[in-house]
Amino acid sequence: MKKIVFGIVLVSVFFSCNNSKEKNADKNVKVTDKAVAKDSVQENEVAADEKNKSDFDILLPRSYRTYEVNPAASLTDKWVDLYENNGEYYLAKADFKIEKGFDECSGDSLQSIIPKNKTIVFMDYPGLKLGKIKSLKIVKHKVWPKEKVTYTFNGINYVLRAEGKVLSEDKTDSDSDEDKVFKNVANYKLYLTANNGVEKLILAQESFNDTFVVLLFAGDIDGDGKLDLVFSANRDYEEERVILFLSSKATNDEAMKKVAEIAVQFDC
């Protein structure tokens, strides 16, 4: 009888140990899966960060809040100023002054870049040739979904085509015919084609908060005879965001490449 009881106990202990090992093995598998998934997400995030990296810095003629380092402090006369004068566009050494102030909204100090010229953007790209540059008159600053705009520059046709969902339309009291109607757009995508080549997605935005994409400049910034573009792409009415595309940085079958972006928040 004792032998039978001892045998039952021994079998119970054996199965108990096996079950414990199986549970621990399951736990290890689950932890490993989570770790792999986490690593995959991190890799995707790194890839996205690399894609969004700027080739060089740009600044806007505006006020910047001071947290640790104020962006305005990096601007020097070695930077290049893209500016407009009587409908013509020029590149020159940055000519500006810095004014200090205080932001009542955020309760923080400010440094403001006050430009001498009608500046579109300052670029930390000293290799650019200074002087008057060739540009195009912008016939349509906003390309709404289902619209297409063609610009011809040095014999090359550049087509901007937009996709997206128009959620609503509102009439405005603007004096500009182009701005008499404002559209609330979601899932916006802007494509570019040059000389009937491969169409490329150059800008995508899931949603806007009382804002939209606006073309600020079309012309030859880098002096290679091909079109470059500067967009305002504010995602929110309390943000100022500008994106710069240069043709000289393009690779493969691209017409141009996004080389710099700046986004400044001024919410309370």
Entry pTM: 0.79
Q: What is the pLDDT of residues 11-45, one digit of tens each?
A: 444 444 444 444 343 333 333 333 333 333 333 33
**Close Cβ partners of 229 (under 8 Å, ≥ 6 residues apart):** 215, 217, 218, 244, 245, 256
**Close Cβ partners of 82 (under 8 Å, ≥ 6 residues apart):** 89, 90, 91, 119, 120, 121, 122, 123, 217, 221, 230
Q: How confident is the model at residue 52 (pLDDT cuts 50, 70, 90)?
A: low
Residue 235: name the closest of 264, 196, 258 by CA: 264
Provide the pLDDT for residue 109.
Answer: 87
Q: Is the pLDDT of residue 1 over 50?
A: no
Distance between CA atoms of residues 232 and 263, nearest Å? 10
Reading phi first (left if > 0) and then psi (alpha if -120 to 50, else beta), residue 36 is in: alpha
Q: Is the pLDDT of residue 138 over 90?
A: yes
